[in-house]
Amino acid sequence: MVGVIVDVGVIVGVDVSVAVAVGPWVPVGAGVGPRKGIPEHACNSIVINNARENLRISYLFQAIILFIPGTFYNNMTSIEVTNLQKTFQTKRKAAGLTGSIRSLFKPEYSLVEAVRKLSFQMEAGELLGFIGPNGAGKSTTIKMLTGILHPSAGAAKVLGFTPWVDRQKLAYQIGTVFGQRPQLWYHLPAIDTFILFGKIYELDDRETQKRIDYLTEAFEIKDLLDVPVRKLSLGQRMRCEVAASLLHRPKLLLLDEPSIGLDVVAKQHIRDAIKRMNQEEGVGVLLTSHDAGDLEALCKRVIIVNHGQIVYEDKVSNLKRKFLTTKMVEVRYAQEVSRDFSIHGVQILKVGHYGVKLKFDTAITPVDAVMSHLSGAGDIVDITISDPPLEEVIAKIYQEAGSQQQPGQDRNHG
């Protein structure tokens, strides 16, 4: 991208999402947006030094675009869900043969509300985490957003389409990965599926090849492409799966449990690659998971669902600030510690010969006071301060939300 005119084309045309994802006031100069190996702030400063003239014009231009009322509004929202509901009817059967026979003649059905009046919005290019325990309604929501399931009530717009009406048109614009279900042809090498997808999404052969080259580099799967998928490890296969779902440059990626069953390294691999695709191509990512690590590593904003309803919705940083106020501190001293070690407002977890382990809430007890107390107690050799894992925080939110629900509701669907 060189020069203002090219950029103007990009902004006015298709990819408003990219510009917005980077931030509304990032200069539209040459090479804006984080490139590989250059952090975002460094990138901006290079631009500012090199092209001050361009900068002024581009600020002006952005101002004009942003103030044209309503014109670009729709392009900025990629998902809009209003009062979405899905109710499943499931047959109930008592245990044993008698129960089976009875259910033949007098079937009993129970209604399961998998999704209840769900409403939320997702901006273009956003990294949104959609988390909740098993059976919270995450997958059902994703399936409705891709148009596979028809909702019982409510409305949804994904990239301007109503998914269950324009499923095929929408399919060209979104990529999906269902972590528990492979989409690659199991007995064939991944490259075969990539080429097939190229055809299915109606790409030129040359374009497909270019895209495959790019994705194999981004996901580090060059050596895996020629191996039959069944011979890959789960982590390797998942990388291929996500790469395949990005082949047609979707604007929105829906990932349903992409890290399920993966080890720490494999998870990190996938997260890095997804992050990179978000930064380089501005693809929006809606990610369901019950792994808080995914959320912490990837998402800017989080929606926590339970029992088919939103129980919490905020920026991940706010979530941390609000709920991650507890600190765990482990201190080691040069001298022996007295047995009756205590600090006001601090919970002492363990007192050893040379060290103590304690926990306190920064909202109640100031960090300063605790630290000065600790250093006053002796010569500190080593200190470790840690946050409680995000899992705990989320579990707490689930519990709080769960206690407000009526008990005894079936949660078989998710």
Partner 1 sequence: MKTFSKYWSIFQITLINSLAYPGELVGRSLMIIPFMWIFYQLWKVTFSAAGADVIGGLTLRDTLWYLMLAETIELGRPPIARTMSDNVKDGSIAYILNKPYDFLLYQFSTAMGETIFRAMLNAVFGGLTVWWLVGAPNHPEGILIALPAIFGAWVLHFCINAMIGLSAFVVEDVSAFTWIYQKLAFIFGGMLIPLDFYPKWLQSLAKFLPFSSAIYGPARLFISPTYTFFISVMSLQLTWVLGLCILLVIVYRRGLAQLTVNGG
Q: Are 129 and 291 in contact (CB under 8 A)?
A: no
| Choice from 8, 30, 57, 196 touching partner 1 (CB under 8 A) | 196
**Segment interacting with partner 1, rule: CB under 8 A, options 3-11, 137-145, 379-387, 392-400:** 137-145
E strand or H helix at 193: helix 190-200
Percentages (nearest 5) of helix, strand, coil residues in the chain: 40, 25, 35
Among 18-26, 181-189, 326-334, 390-398, the segment contacting partner 1 (CB under 8 A): 181-189
**What sign does the CA torsion over 335, 336, 340, 344 have?**
positive
Q: b or e along 320-347 (b: 16 or more beta carbons within 10 Å of the residue's beta carbon)? A: eeebbebbebbbbbeeebeeebebeebe
Q: Is 167 in the site for partner 1 (CB under 8 A)?
A: yes
Binding residues for partner 1 restricted to 79-118, rule: CB under 8 A: 88
Instruction: Pick between residue 308 and residue 414 the one whose CB is nearest to partner 1.
Output: 414
DSSP class of residue 403 equals H
Q: Classify burial at 44, counting beta carbons within 10 Å of its beta carbon; exposed 0-12, middle 13-18, buried 19 or more.
A: buried
| Both structure tokens of 155 | 């409305």
Mark 211-240 with x for binding to partner 1 (rule: CB under 8 A) and - for no binding.
-----------------x------------
Helix (H) or strand (E) holding 375: helix 367-376
Contacts 24+ apart (CB under 8 A), 221-224: 221/190, 224/190
When asked if residue 190 is in the footprint of partner 1 (CB under 8 A), the reply is no
Stretch that binds partner 1, among 11-19, 193-201, 268-276, 366-374 (CB under 8 A): 193-201
Nearer to partner 1, 16 or 215 (CB): 215
By the rule CB under 8 A, 192 interacts with partner 1? yes
> CA Rg, the chain, in Å?
26
141 scored as a contact of partner 1 (CB under 8 A): no
In the complex, minimum distance from the CB of residue 391 to partner 1, in angstroms, rounded to a whole number: 21
With contacts defined by CB under 8 A, name the span among 182-190, 293-301, 306-314, 390-398 that binds partner 1: 182-190
Closest among 363, 365, 360, 369 to 327, alpha carbons compared: 360
Binding flag, residue 249, partner 1 (CB under 8 A): no
> Is 49 or 168 the residue whose CB approaches partner 1 more closely?
168
Inter-helix orientation angle 52-67/40-50, to 10°: 110
CA-to-CA separations, 141 to 155, 168, 219, 398, in angstroms, rounded: 12, 18, 27, 18
Nearer to partner 1, 228 or 355 (CB): 228
Q: Is the dihedral of CA 46, 52, 53, 55 positive or negative?
A: positive
The reply to whether 146 sits near partner 1 by the rule CB under 8 A is yes
User: Is 206 one of the binding residues for partner 1 (CB under 8 A)?
Assistant: no
- Choose the binding region for partner 1 from 14-22, 41-49, 164-172, 269-277 (rule: CB under 8 A): 164-172
Using the rule CB under 8 A, is 171 a contact of partner 1? yes
Number of residues that bind partner 1 (CB under 8 A): 35
Positions touching partner 1 (CB under 8 A) are 88, 139-140, 143, 146-150, 167-169, 171-172, 174, 176, 178, 180-181, 183, 185, 187-188, 192-193, 195-196, 199-202, 228, 256-257, 414
